[in-house]
Amino acid sequence: MSLRHLITIRDLDYREALQILDTAEAMAATQSHRVKKLPTLHGRTVVNLFFEDSTRTRISFETAAKRLSADVINFSAKGSSVSKGESLKDTALTLQAMGADAVVVRHSSSGAAHRLAHAGWMDLPVINAGDGTHQHPTQALLDAMTMRRHLKRQPGDGDPVAPGTDLAGIQVVIVGDVLHSRVARSNVDLLTLLGATVTLVAPPTLLPVGVDEWACEVDYDFDHALAQNPDAVMMLRVQRERMSPAGGGFFPSPGEYHASYGLDRQRFAALPSHTIVMHPGPMNRGLEISAEAADSPRSVVVEQVANGVSVRMAALYLLLAPEGASHE
């Protein structure tokens, strides 16, 4: 792969996106073995640089790097010199000086991953693990991997799958706090690149300015969007920590939000039988998603987490071992 960094889905063309997804499938195949570890990145060091709280993404990257035999250093802003005011630049210089081979970064500022990769402070591949409300490319890739597994047309289903149409004909509804969601942005970019159709559903207060120019439909009415029989319904977390003051103004009350935009018991029961339910986690049960939906066999939330490890293994492998990619 010619890519040096993974900062945004927009850096990927169709062929590169498929290469990551196909490599993730190959990685997944190795994960059913008793010994899960591959020697590929033995002797390399991956730094997890997390300026924002994270549970599953950080653990997922750590697991992925370790499964490829890399050493992992977890650097979280709390308890580090960052809380003493150290800048992103000084942190970057330190990582380079310590001999890191790749940096996985999560930051509350949109653009932080791009800056780290391109400011000239260090010369290491950077993977964006979420920057502000901008992008979260590995999340979109793991979501696409999950959809391919459940929904992709198989040879024999009709026309041969043409380039740019890996998820052709698949309808995805993404519901909730789109305004603050890097997951929604990354998914719109990747799903449309793969040929799927996306509808965003949210109250007007939780949609960003300029959303009309995105390559998707926008609907304020969840029931109307569900009446189109989507193949996947992706619920987004209401990101209260990005709402100030404390959620005020974006919706009248949690109860009203759930009634209008929650995947409640009735809406869940009315879904077509093949429709999958997705959520990037962490879930606010009772707010954007009901326990019935979250815990049902239709929910692929746990599969999304498992696929996250495979996608991150693929990304680390393709960025750090490109010469190996053609020889092994």
Site residues, ligand NCD (CB under 6 A): 56-57, 130, 136, 139, 182-183, 237, 239, 280-281
Comparison of 136 and 258: residue with beta carbon closer to ligand NCD: 136
Comparison of 45 and 187: residue with beta carbon closer to ligand NCD: 187
Comparison of 44 and 237: residue with beta carbon closer to ligand NCD: 237
Amino acid symbol at 121: W
| CA–CA gap between residue 212 and residue 219 (Å, rounded) | 11
* 3 state SS of 129: strand
CB 126 within 8 A of CB 106: no
| CA–CA gap between residue 147 and residue 234 (Å, rounded) | 11
CB 267 within 8 A of CB 222: yes
Comparison of 88 and 174: residue with beta carbon closer to ligand NCD: 174
Comparison of 130 and 262: residue with beta carbon closer to ligand NCD: 130
| CA–CA gap between residue 311 and residue 145 (Å, rounded) | 8
Taking the complex as a whole, the smallest distance from the CB of residue 281 to ligand NCD amounts, in Å, to 5
Nearest residue (beta carbon) to ligand NCD: 237
The neighbour count for residue 77, using CB atoms within 10 Å, is: 18
CB 224 within 8 A of CB 251: no
Across-strand partners of 141? none
Taking the complex as a whole, the smallest distance from the CB of residue 308 to ligand NCD amounts, in Å, to 8
| CA–CA gap between residue 323 and residue 328 (Å, rounded) | 9
Comparison of 5 and 237: residue with beta carbon closer to ligand NCD: 237
